[in-house]
């Protein structure tokens, strides 16, 4: 007995109905992952759009084109092996924290508006006079 499916392609594979000894793949028994960046316009930012599995960089590019470039306007696709990306680990995410009492480091810490107005007024006075 073979497996009979509504899908004739599956029936044609002639898979024995009694043999159900499919072994799941071992964890990580798959290709390397690649990160994909998509550019919509010339000169625009390449934006990270997702990742994919591929046996090597060339095939990653081949597949990224269809995976991420077939639906929307695309002028360029970049692929990078995930393993080549340096990042700060989640445990060390506190590295991004900063104490708030440092107005002098922020643009908002300086009241430029009043100074600018005063300067403009002064300029106007100079041309009128």
Partner 1 sequence: MDNGRPANGVAPKVASALKTFLYRIADDELIIAHRNSEWTGLGPILEEDIAFSSIAQDKLGHSLAIYSILHEVFGEEDPDTIAFTRSEKDFTCCHLVELPIGDYAFSLVRHLLFDLAEQLRFEMLENSLFEPLAKVARKVKGEIKYHLFHAVTWVTQLGAKGNEESKARTQTALNEAFPLALGIFEPGDHDDILKGEGIFEGEETLKERWLTALTSIVEEADLTLPDVQSVEPAYGGRKGYHTEHLQPLLDEMAEVFRIDPGAEW
Considering the complex, what minimum distance in angstroms separates the CB of residue 119 from partner 1? 55
**By CB under 8 A, is residue 63 in contact with partner 1?**
yes
Strand order in the sheet with 76-81: 47-54, 32-39, 76-81
For residue 52, the surrounding DSSP H or E stretch is: strand 47-54
d(CA 61, CA 72): 17
Number of neighbours of residue 79 by Cβ within 10 angstroms: 22
Which residues are CB-contacts of 41 (< 8 A; sequence separation ≥ 6)? 73, 75
Q: In terms of CB distance, is 29 or 94 closer to partner 1?
A: 29
Which listed residue (9, 42, 73, 111) binds partner 1 by CB under 8 A? Answer: 9
The Cα diameter of the chain in Å comes to 104
Considering the complex, what minimum distance in angstroms separates the CB of residue 62 from partner 1? 5
**By CB under 8 A, is residue 27 in contact with partner 1?**
no
Which of these segments, 55-63, 84-92, 100-108, 113-121, binds partner 1 (CB under 8 A)? Answer: 55-63
Which of these segments, 54-62, 78-86, 94-102, 109-117, binds partner 1 (CB under 8 A)? Answer: 54-62
**By CB under 8 A, is residue 53 in contact with partner 1?**
yes
């Amino acid at each position: 007995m073979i497996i009979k499916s509504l899908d004739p392609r599956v029936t044609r594979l002639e898979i024995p109905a009694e043999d159900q000894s499919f072994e799941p793949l071992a964890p990580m028994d798959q290709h390397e992952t690649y990160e994909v960046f998509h550019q919509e316009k010339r000169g625009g930012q390449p934006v990270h759009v997702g990742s994919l599995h591929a046996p090597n960089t060339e095939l990653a590019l081949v597949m990224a084109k269809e995976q991420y470039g077939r639906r929307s306007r695309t002028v360029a696709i970049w692929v990078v092996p995930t393993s080549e990306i340096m990042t700060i680990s989640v445990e060390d995410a506190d590295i991004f924290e900063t104490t708030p009492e440092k107005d002098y480091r922020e643009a908002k810490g300086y009241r430029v508006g009043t100074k600018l107005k005063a300067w403009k007024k002064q300029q106007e006075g100079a041309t009128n006079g």
